[in-house]
Copies of this chain bind each other. A is one copy, B any other.
Amino acid sequence: MNIDACKAALAHLDIEERDTAITAASRDFFWYSPVLKARLDHVVADFVVRPKNEAEVIEVLKTCYAHDVPVTTRGAGTGNYGQAMPLAGGCVMHLRHMDKVKEVNPGRVVCEPGVLLKDLDAHCQEDSGQELRMFSSTWSTATIGGFIAGGSGGVGSVHWGSLRDLGNIIRLRVVTMEEKPRVLEFRGEELARVSHAYGTNGIITELELPLAPAYDWTGIFVAADDFGTAMAFADELANEDGILLKIASVYEAPIAHSYFQRVKPHVGEGTNLVGLMVAPQSMDAFLTFLNRRPDCTMIYRSDDHDWPRHPGPVFEYGWNHTTLRALKFDSSITYLQVRYAFPEHRELIEKIRADFSPEVLQHLEAIRQNGKIGFAGLSLVKFTTEERLDEIIRLHEEAGALIFNPHRYTLEEGGRQHADPTQLNFKREADPKGLLNPGKMIAWDDPDWTYEKMYAYPQMRAAE
């Protein structure tokens, strides 16, 4: 790796050389995990480059290839698993300048990867009353490229399922890391090569995504004394085919009282909360549904309330924002990512809750999976030791819940614990030197790995 020669060759581009800025651009939200915090805190790139267009991306990749410099791509660095962190140092390629929206048509948009989710939505709304089908709860800070390469779904998944479901990405344009980088266009089955691949096998330079109609969603909080009542409320509401929702979250007591500062004055310690975004044309039907459930009380609706302090968008309580809010009050909190699949989802959650509450508090997001509503759990965990955390995960798995471990920085360990041959095969073609986001794909580094313990990337640069 010849950093200096590489930097010199890229000197005409927008290069960041200030140490503090390089450090900042080398980190993401890995520190949500005490496990990752202990392992990645020192990680830092050698330099940061900010290409302005695809031609410059190609130049960066080609030059880094020539000098054997690793390249870790960065959208906004809001990932939670050290995804955007340069484990082996080298170059961070920051795509913030590539933020153009190129074309909006009925039901679809074409854009560059570096546009923020909120700016993309604003553009589509302005153009033709449309918006993304789904977005990460980091809507106001994250990029669309980072969401597709690093995310899994979010606000909107209650209607449209997950990002990886057929139809939620239309086309990706990808540059490879070779002597002569190639530019490829992926559709259909090929999308799985690079979506949720953490930029380990190609850089997305253009995206075509489906759109949904934009509505002036009403944010709602509903309170219930009983956890099962709150969970049933969200589940049954999400199963109402004529009521259009964008999010349906469930927060076990005392999450709302302990961690949701502006909600706290309106709830008790025993309040279980449901957070919702309902399309305005569905509000009458929602109120009808609500009135059938006297144990549930609407305590807030964004279009008509008297809360002295506005709580902000309801979705910024959901998905991984719940963890963020909890962390602000209690730095010993961490989280899990769980899948509770239909039809046993509610039963399984009740069982796990009986076993673990309050060490693990249930935070659920209703999502569609294979056409049925189930729950994604982003449970809040009171962290004690890594051993106990591993044990909690094991017990969840034994009970029948699927865990996506957010305390690991590799694709495999954060996913289904086995190599993804589609992604691996494409990496062989597209990144023969293994320079893209190194250390994130075990199958590349150590094909015989058995997943018995946490993987430690051997080439990780040591702290200085």
A interface residues, Cβ below 8 angstroms from B = 106-108, 128-130, 133, 159-162, 165-168, 170-171, 187-189, 210-216, 238-244, 279-282, 284-289, 291, 343, 368-373
Contacts and interface: CB of A to CB of B under 8 A. Distances in A.
A108 B283 CA distance: 12
Nearest to A212: B213
A241 B160 contact: yes
A125 to B, nearest CB: 10
Given A215-B107, A371-B373, A167 B244 contact: yes
Nearest to A281: B107
Given A106-B213, A106-B216, A242 B171 contact: no
A240 B372 CA distance: 10
Contacts of A343: 343
A161 to B, nearest CB: 3
A132 to B, nearest CB: 12
A267 to B, nearest CB: 26
A168 B242 contact: yes
B281 A241 contact: no
A166 B372 CA distance: 18
Contacts of A291: 188-189
A188 B242 CA distance: 12
Contacts of A280: 106-107
Nearest to A285: B167
B165 A240 contact: yes
A188 B284 contact: yes
A277 to B, nearest CB: 13
How many copies of this protein are present in the complex?
Answer: 2
A280 B208 CA distance: 13
B281 A108 contact: yes
B372 A289 contact: no
B288 A241 contact: no
Contact of A289 (B166, B170, B240, B368): B166
Given A210-B242, A242-B166, A373-B371, A215 B281 contact: no
B170 A281 contact: yes
A139 to B, nearest CB: 19
Nearest to A129: B106
A167 B243 contact: yes
A129 B104 CA distance: 14
A2 B212 CA distance: 56
A122 to B, nearest CB: 16
Given A106-B215, A128-B129, A212-B213, A239 B285 contact: no
Contacts of A241: 159-162, 165, 167, 368-371
Contacts of A133: 242
Contacts of A239: 370-372
Given A212-B213, A213-B212, A241-B161, A170 B107 contact: no
A93 to B, nearest CB: 28
Contacts of A106: 129, 213-216, 280-281
Nearest to A159: B241
A133 B279 CA distance: 14
Given A281-B107, A282-B210, A287 B240 contact: no
Given A166-B243, A168-B242, A243-B166, A188 B285 contact: yes
Most chain B beta carbons < 10 A, residue from A107, A238, A282, A289? A107
Contacts of A213: 106-107, 130, 212-213
A240 B108 CA distance: 18
Contacts of A368: 241
A130 B107 CA distance: 12
Contact of A372 (B107, B168, B288, B371): B371
Given A165-B240, A167-B243, A288-B188, A211 B371 contact: no
A242 B281 contact: no
A364 B343 CA distance: 25
Contacts of A373: 371
A187 B286 CA distance: 11
Nearest to A242: B167
A255 to B, nearest CB: 26
Contacts of A159: 241
Contacts of A167: 240-244, 281-282, 284-286
A135 to B, nearest CB: 15
Contacts of A165: 240-242
